[in-house]
Amino acid sequence: MSGSPARLFTLPTRAELRSASPWVWVLLVLAAVDLAVGIASAYLTPDFDGFLTLVSEILGPASLVIAAALIFVAPRERLVQLAAIGFALPVIVELIRLTIPHVAAMTSSHDWALLTQRLTEWTDALTTVLWASQLAALVALAVYLGSVRTRAGWIIVLASVVLAALHGAVLVSQWPPLQGADLPPDTFPLSDLVLRLLAQLVIVAWGYLLAITYERRMFLFATATAAQLLGSLIGLLTATVFFDWLQGGASAAVTVQLIFIAIPVVYLAAFVGGVLTELPRQGRRAGKVPTGTSTHEAPSAGR
C-alpha cells in the first residue's frame, strides 16, 4: 500500500471541502433527496417489514455518494467524470421513477398526466439497460487506474468471467420459454434474455477492477470490489445450491438478508474510503506514481 497508515485514513481538509466542485454538493443533495424519498416510500408500502427494508433504503443513494467522492477527488479528469456519471445515473433514474407517481397525484392537468405517463414509460425502458451505465463507470475507473499486469491479476479476472458465465447459465436455465411454459410470445422476448446475459459483463468489470487494485495494493478499493464479487457469488449460491434451504424457514431468509445488507455497507465504506485516500489525484496516474511515494502527496490542480 502506498503511503503510511496514518496518511491512509486522513480525512479531507476544510480547505479542500471549500474548494470542492459544485457538482459534489449537487450529488450529495440528490443523495439526501433519494434517501428521503426511499424511506418515505418504504414506510408507505403495505409490506414494510421494518429494519431490513429501512437499512436497504438508506443504502439506496450509495452510488451517488461514490460519484460525489470521485468528483471531489478529481473533478477535471475525464475518465473520473465518466465513472461518476456511470455510478450516479441509475440512482437518478430510480429517483425519477419514485417521484413520478407523487407528481402525477398532485396534478390534475391532462398535459401533466400525459407527461408523467411518458416519463414512466421511458424510465421503465431505461432501467433494462442501466447496467451499461455501471459497466461504463467501472471500465473508465479501471482505465484511469491502469491495467492488469500480473498472473495473479489475470487469475482474478478469469475467476470473475467464470462467475459471470455461471450467472448466465442460471438465467438461461430458469428462462420460462425454455422450460416449456405455455406463454404468449411477447411475454418474455428473447431480447430481454440477451440484455440480462450482457448485464453479467458488470461482474467481469468488477473482477478486472479488483485485479488492478489488488496489484497496486489499494486495500480499500480491493475490499470494495471483492465485496461486490462476494455478493454476486452469494446471489448465485442462494439461487441454486441453497435455494431449497432458503425455502425451509424464515430464519434462513433473514440470515441471507442480513448478509446482503452487510455487503453493501462494507462496499460503500470501503469504496468511498478508497476514492478519498487511494485514488490518484489529478495529473498523477497509478502507474506513474514513483515507488514509495503516496498518491496523497500528489499535487491536486484546482483542489
Q: Would you write out the chain's pLDDT as a tens digit for each of its 303 residues?
A: 444 333 445 667 777 777 788 999 999 999 998 888 777 776 766 665 666 666 777 788 899 999 999 999 999 899 999 999 999 999 888 888 877 766 666 666 656 666 667 777 777 777 788 899 999 999 999 999 999 999 999 999 999 999 999 999 999 888 877 776 666 666 778 888 899 999 999 999 999 999 999 999 999 999 999 999 999 998 888 887 766 665 655 566 667 777 878 898 999 999 999 999 899 875 444 444 433 333 433 333 333
The model's pTM is 0.80
Cell of 297: 502527496
Cell of 212: 488492478
Residue type, 107: T
Residue type, 179: Q
Q: Are 271 and 262 in contact (CB under 8 A)?
A: no
Q: Are 90 and 130 in contact (CB under 8 A)?
A: yes
Q: Whole-angstrom Cα distance, residue 257 to residue 59?
A: 13
First to last CA, the chain: 24
